[in-house]
Structure 1
Amino acid sequence: MFSCSSCGLQHSDGPVCSLCKNRYDFGCAGVTEAGFRKLGDRRNNWRCPKCKAGPSLSPTPNSPAVSQMDNILEQLNYINLQLAPLASLMEDIKSIKSDVNSLKSSLEMAHESINQFSSTIKSLESRVAKAEEMVNDVPRLREELIKLNQELDVRDQWARSNNVEIRGIPQKNNEDLYDLTQRIGNKCNFPIKKEDINYIARVPTRVPNVEKPIIVSFNNRYIKENFVSSSRKTRLSVSDLGFASTGYCYVNDHLTQRNKVLLSKAKSLAKNNNFKYIWVKHSKIMARKSDTSPIFFIRCEKDLVRII
């Protein structure tokens, strides 16, 4: 350990001036330890900053002779030692500059991505707003759809107001449906003329393994109503019409599929709730709990609540 001639602090190592023989730590000597080691044999001629700055650069009786050229070279070496860190500093500056350019490019890309993301968000917000408006319109549109379906069904049922549906008649090849309808009318004491009928045909049914019903369209709604009324007064079996099979023939209003489902539900509820009458007249479903109860119409699902 030694005391630095400049700061007076204790140090373990440092250069010794070849002129004044004072010893300094590397910091006070103005040289790095690595730089000092690189001097090699020239370390013996190293001078401290004070001796370099003093007037006595010429040889003294107590020091080795040092030529003017050596002094210049030593000063250049000292300057080189001071400038040595600049190379590393320049590399660091280049690296920092490259990082800054990279960061700038990343920021530009991020800014562009943010703009695109912002545009997407605005588009989504617009679509969500439209969706919310549509959601708010759903109840109204549902009500309008129900109303339109009801109106269509009413019109469809009105178009069938001259029709009757005959069920239970066995189907045969080359059958004469006009003659069959006339036979039903004769058995019900309501004769039917061929010119009273607009058209007649069997139609498919959704119920499997059931004979196709016969649809008869009359030219006059009143003839149709009287035909239905007369057939209901007569319990007509298929054997009465000349068929070998058993069973009964049923003549009813030609209801739409919606009204058929509604009639079936009404009958099921009436059976479970002691409702005495569920019937169809003029293609309208009617209900009555007892002989003294008021009559009401069943036009839609909501009306079924009155049977419960």
Structure 2
Amino acid sequence: MGNNDTEEAIQCWVCKKFFDYPCSGITEIGYRKLGDRQATWKCATCKHVQGAKKQPGSPVPSPTSLSMDTVMAELTKLSLQLQPLPELFKDIHCIKSDMAALSTSTQELISRIDRLEKRIDNIESVSDAMPELRVAITQLQEQIDEQDQWLRYNNIEIKGVPVKHNENLKEKNYRFVWVKHSKLFLRKNETSPVLSIKAEKDLTKVK
């Protein structure tokens, strides 16, 4: 075939020879239908030669078998990479267990803190009420002393008891001393204030 006819001929991809459609054994329409397979078209001679080289019963290597080998190799690599996963799962399980225990401890600690805060609030409430309680106790003690004085209203009066040093009210310039409703009252003169002696602590008022 001349060089001018190569533009309308087809080339065998094995022997690289050009053939026109009548000699190639394929029509122009059939060749066009090959599409991408045009690049691997073989002439009748090359097909015969390759067919004779094949042994009966021998497997024909194909791109598919090569791809399977590649896939198996990749799977092997992936399997090796996934080997640490069981240990990783164990570590994750241990971490989850530790987190659960920590959460429980935290809740217990929060409960203890709440109880302590309530106790502190109760103590503070009692501390705030202490002044009022002291005043109430003092008032109750005065009432008890007053009632005790009333109970002694009919007691026998004893006279002639020896006077000790600093017990004589006259020496302290108290001119008026009297008892009324079982209570002792003192007064230095007509214009001085009256002292009421209800309990032993009131003796400190006597100067």
Could you state the TM-score of these two structures normalised by the residue count of structure 2?
0.48
The structure in which a higher percent of residues are helix is 2
Q: Relative CO higher for 1 or 2, CA cutoff 8 Å, sep ≥ 6?
A: 1
Could you state the TM-score of these two structures normalised by the residue count of structure 1?
0.34
Larger Rg: 2
